[in-house]
Structure 1
Amino acid sequence: MSNEAPAGVFAVLKATPTPVRYLLGGVFVNQLGAFVQTFLLLYLTVRGVSVAAAGLCLVAYSVGAIFGTMLGGELTHRFGPRTTIVVAMIASAPLVASIPLLAHPSTFWPLAGVVALGGLATQAYRPAAAVLLSDQMPEEYQVMGFSMMRIALNIGAALAPLIAAGLILVDWDLLFWLDGATAAVYALLAFALLPKNVDVPPEEDEEPASTVDRKSAYATMVRDGKFLLYLGSMFVGTIVYAQFTVALPLQILADGHPEALYSAVLATSSIILIVTELKLTTYVTRWPPPLAAGLGHAVFAVGVAGWGLAAGSGTLVILSTVFFVSGLMISGPSMFAYPARFPARVKARYIGTQHTIIGLSSALGPVFGVLAWTWLGRGIWPLGGALGLVAGYFAWAAMKQKTAPVPAVETGTATEPVGGKA
């Protein structure tokens, strides 16, 4: 990063382009109504759907989300971020809002289909939002930009359960109607406020983006060893991260702690992320990205392993959570900003693949957690810590300055380099 970049949070916020502010506002609004993944299982059982059928619907949503992120990357490449966000949210709104109409045991298959399509449409906007942020945010502030997006998501995620608690008291169906309404609002905001076309940086004006077809782009990605290491880091790290909501509550209850301790853990993590991440990121942006990614994963791994040593001590559970969240804040912005360093002609597809891997590992994380908890018990935590270190090594190796020849894209007439900017 540039040494001339302002160090203060407010200086960076002041330098943030208006389209990015609109984008972050839309992300926040959409996240306020993101109830499907959190409440679908409970809602369907309340409506008389069996637990097994409700679980299959949740799986259908996750599968749709995985394909949605890949589709979002492809649509962004072909039609641009603004169009992709608008189309994704317009499609998501009626799909999500119609879930209450199908939430009956007799309409399981139509319900599963709608939920799967809802997951696909809802998650398709994520690569587009990341591409738009990376294109609009000055390069020296991109890591801070992705940190701001994470905070917008986290604030929305923290407030959404409070909103849901009030809606449930009135009518469960309101959850999904509001979810659809926030998606529609996001579509309107994107259509009215986001730029139609994003200018390509001058150094990439001469690159024949239109000649890079999908097959060549993905074939190049497969040959890019450093990017595959990066994807491996995201996959392994997300599997471990999932245990925060899967194995940790099981451990807390097994140790005889009250359920309120887990609520305190969730509150602690949310407060730390929202209050301190931007300030911490102003320091992290001065570090080489490989150092931030590697060190962050190491701190994250200490927190995960610490949960295994915290038997009988709620204080140690909270302290380990502080390490866990601190590691996420150190590594997260640099990790999420990394695919934005690739040239514009392949960036959307690289970002789409990044989010697809995150979606896949998020879906597999609970399965891993339940099986590991069943077989290993408290042994899941040293295993999780070790996997966190593995993810950190992969990230460090992927993001360090390239010393090998840069992969290339076959354009039909020439072979052109594609690798990320050093």
Structure 2
Amino acid sequence: MQAVTRKGMWLVAVANGILLFGYGLSLPFFTIYLISQQHLAPAMAGLVVALAGLSRCVSSAISGELADAFGRKNVMMWGLFSQIIAMFSLALCIELNAQAGWMLTCYFFTTFLGAFFRPAANAWVTDHTTPKERVEAFGMIRIGLNIGWALGPAVGGFLVRYSYSVAFYFTALLYATTILYLGRLIKDRTSKKGARRRARKPSFATMLSSLTDTRLARICLYVVMITAVNSQLVVGLSIHCKQYLQMPEYFIGWFFTINGLVVILLQQAASKWMSKHRLSTAMFWGCIAYAVGFGSVGFFSSFALIAVGVFLAGVGELIVSPGEQTMVSNIASRETRGRYLGLLMVFYNMGSALGFFVAGLLGDWVAPHYLPGPWLIVASVAVLAGIGFWRMRYQLTDDEDGKQTAPIPIKKDTITLH
């Protein structure tokens, strides 16, 4: 990867890290807030988070389509600006102990607007990389994300012991910092076709027709499954540790931190390993790591042993997350990158919402009768997703599956940086 390209990827990676640090300060603890402060049942709290997650499906699709039409950077900036307003409003509602309706409305807007950044940012990354560079590029993004994820919940776990609203105010402040940082340092790639691309009108009516590409449809299905598995880290693990093991909030925050540290420390090695194998093969083994990690959680009651399961699940994440983004990027044309990556995030968020909701149901209906039960169900879903990704090799070319048979000369464009 050229030096200028690598610099651009690290700029976006740092921005993602700041954003996820802000997210980790507050939003992972909203489920606990609803259960402990608003006295909602776990299933109802899971439903609230799930419905909010579904709103991200809509906004992800909108973001991808707008990024193709109006530019990646414009969508990133306006999405962040709107989310700052929503996050500040949510913090104010919590501080003033506002009626639940106002609080949940602000939470829904925060979640909806929070999905605008990633599809546009991922399309920006794809614009400036070749297919062989994308695993490494998205791996770099994952490092930035997980530095934020490692630090955010650890700090947030202590903040919420004293004030939930302060944690949300800090999140809004960090989002504002990201706008100032990113807005000055990156620009969209320009070309002779730039004027035509900017003039293109978004076509939401035809957007879903992209799923007639059976390869995209199958990838999205498996992404729903494995993302539902991954979401157990936020809701399922919180319910398991707080409701049944009576662990303090800061222990739960440290589990999130361990998950993030896995990616920070091992992502580069994982990216190099993935570059030597087919994406479909790597995705299979990533799903198996998820299955073993989360499948073991229900059998443990100590912090150390649960941390081992979280570590293994983190290994699965550092393979699956950049792999799914790379696979979708590789099958998309330049004109549909934003749309395809937006649709990927639609199904990613759909999987998260499904996982949040199912976590609440499993915590209420399965765990009281057999504590390892929810985690064995989660592990089974991870194995099925892994088999699905493995079979994608029969629908992908060697290049699309990350295995080039011969060097392909590609003319590189220059990234404009301030």
Same fold (TM over 0.5): yes
2:76 to 85, 94, 98: 85
CA distance in 1, matches of 2:342, 2:395: 23
CA distance in 2, matches of 1:40, 1:344: 38
CA distance in 2, matches of 1:276, 1:102: 39
**Is the CA contact (8 Å cut-off) linking 1:26 and 1:189 kept in structure 2?**
yes
Matches within 5 A, 1:212-291: 213-219=203-209, 221-248=210-237, 265-291=255-281
Matches within 5 A, 1:365-380: 365-373=355-363, 374-375=365-366, 377=370, 378-380=372-374
2:8 to 15, 19, 35: 19
1:32 to 15, 18, 21: 21
Residue 57 of structure 2 corresponds to residue 66 of structure 1:
yes
**Is the CA contact (8 Å cut-off) linking 1:73 and 1:350 kept in structure 2?**
yes
Counterpart of 1:159 in structure 2 is 151
**Is the CA contact (8 Å cut-off) linking 1:30 and 1:182 kept in structure 2?**
yes
Matches within 5 A, 1:274-313: 274-307=264-297, 310-311=299-300
**Is the CA contact (8 Å cut-off) linking 2:119 and 2:338 kept in structure 1?**
yes
**Is the CA contact (8 Å cut-off) linking 1:72 and 1:128 kept in structure 2?**
yes
**Is the CA contact (8 Å cut-off) linking 1:212 and 1:345 kept in structure 2?**
no
Residue 325 of structure 2 corresponds to residue 336 of structure 1:
yes
Give the length in aligned residue pairs. 388
Specify whether residues 265 and 225 from structure 1 end up closer, same or farther in structure 2 by C-alpha distance, changes over 3 A only: same
The Cα offsets for residues 38-93 of structure 1, whole Å up to 9 and x where unpaired, read as 234555788x7564798786456434333221221121121111000011011111
CA distance in 1, matches of 2:98, 2:242: 36
**Is the CA contact (8 Å cut-off) linking 1:60 and 1:112 kept in structure 2?**
no
Residue 97 of structure 2 corresponds to residue 97 of structure 1:
no
**Is the CA contact (8 Å cut-off) linking 2:142 and 2:267 kept in structure 1?**
no
1:186 to 174, 178, 185: 178
Say which is worse superposed, 90-99 or 168-177, in terms of deviation.
168-177
Counterpart of 2:378 in structure 1 is 384
Specify whether residues 218 and 247 from structure 1 end up closer, same or farther in structure 2 by C-alpha distance, changes over 3 A only: closer
RMSD, aligned CA = 3.8
Name the amino acid aligned to 1:91: S
> CA offset at residue 181 of structure 1?
2.0
The Cα offsets for residues 11-56 of structure 1, whole Å up to 9 and x where unpaired, read as x59564433222222222222222452234555788x756479878
CA distance in 2, matches of 1:252, 1:170: 20
Matches within 5 A, 1:76-155: 76-103=67-94, 104=96, 107-155=99-147
Matches within 5 A, 1:43-62: 51=40, 58=49, 61-62=52-53
CA distance in 2, matches of 1:70, 1:311: 39
Identical-pair percentage:
19
**Is the CA contact (8 Å cut-off) linking 2:290 and 2:382 kept in structure 1?**
yes
2:315 to 305, 326, 341: 326
Counterpart of 1:356 in structure 2 is 346
**Is the CA contact (8 Å cut-off) linking 2:227 and 2:348 kept in structure 1?**
yes
> CA offset at residue 146 of structure 1?
0.8
CA distance in 2, matches of 1:321, 1:57: 25
**Is the CA contact (8 Å cut-off) linking 1:37 and 1:58 kept in structure 2?**
no
Structure 2: tracts of 5 or more residues without a match: 398-418
Greater RCO, CA 8 A, separation 6+: 2
Say which is worse superposed, 74-83 or 360-369, in terms of deviation.
360-369
> CA offset at residue 273 of structure 1?
1.9
CA distance in 2, matches of 1:54, 1:322: 26
Name the amino acid aligned to 2:295: A
TM-score (ref. length: structure 2): 0.79
Name the amino acid aligned to 2:389: A
State the SS of the aligned residue for 1:39.
Answer: helix
Counterpart of 1:410 in structure 2 is none
Counterpart of 1:406 in structure 2 is none
TM-score (ref. length: structure 1): 0.78
Name the amino acid aligned to 1:89: L
State the SS of the aligned residue for 1:287.
Answer: coil
> CA offset at residue 364 of structure 1?
1.9
**Is the CA contact (8 Å cut-off) linking 2:50 and 2:354 kept in structure 1?**
no
Specify whether residues 198 and 356 from structure 1 end up closer, same or farther in structure 2 by C-alpha distance, changes over 3 A only: farther
CA distance in 2, matches of 1:343, 1:272: 33
Structure 1: tracts of 5 or more residues without a match: 1-11, 404-422
**Is the CA contact (8 Å cut-off) linking 1:62 and 1:363 kept in structure 2?**
yes
> CA offset at residue 282 of structure 1?
1.0
The Cα offsets for residues 87-142 of structure 1, whole Å up to 9 and x where unpaired, read as 10111112211223334565443443333222222221110011111112343221
CA distance in 1, matches of 2:360, 2:284: 27
CA distance in 1, matches of 2:126, 2:70: 16
Specify whether residues 136 and 386 from structure 1 end up closer, same or farther in structure 2 by C-alpha distance, changes over 3 A only: same
CA distance in 1, matches of 2:245, 2:93: 40
CA distance in 1, matches of 2:196, 2:75: 25
CA distance in 1, matches of 2:215, 2:228: 20
State the SS of the aligned residue for 1:146.
Answer: helix
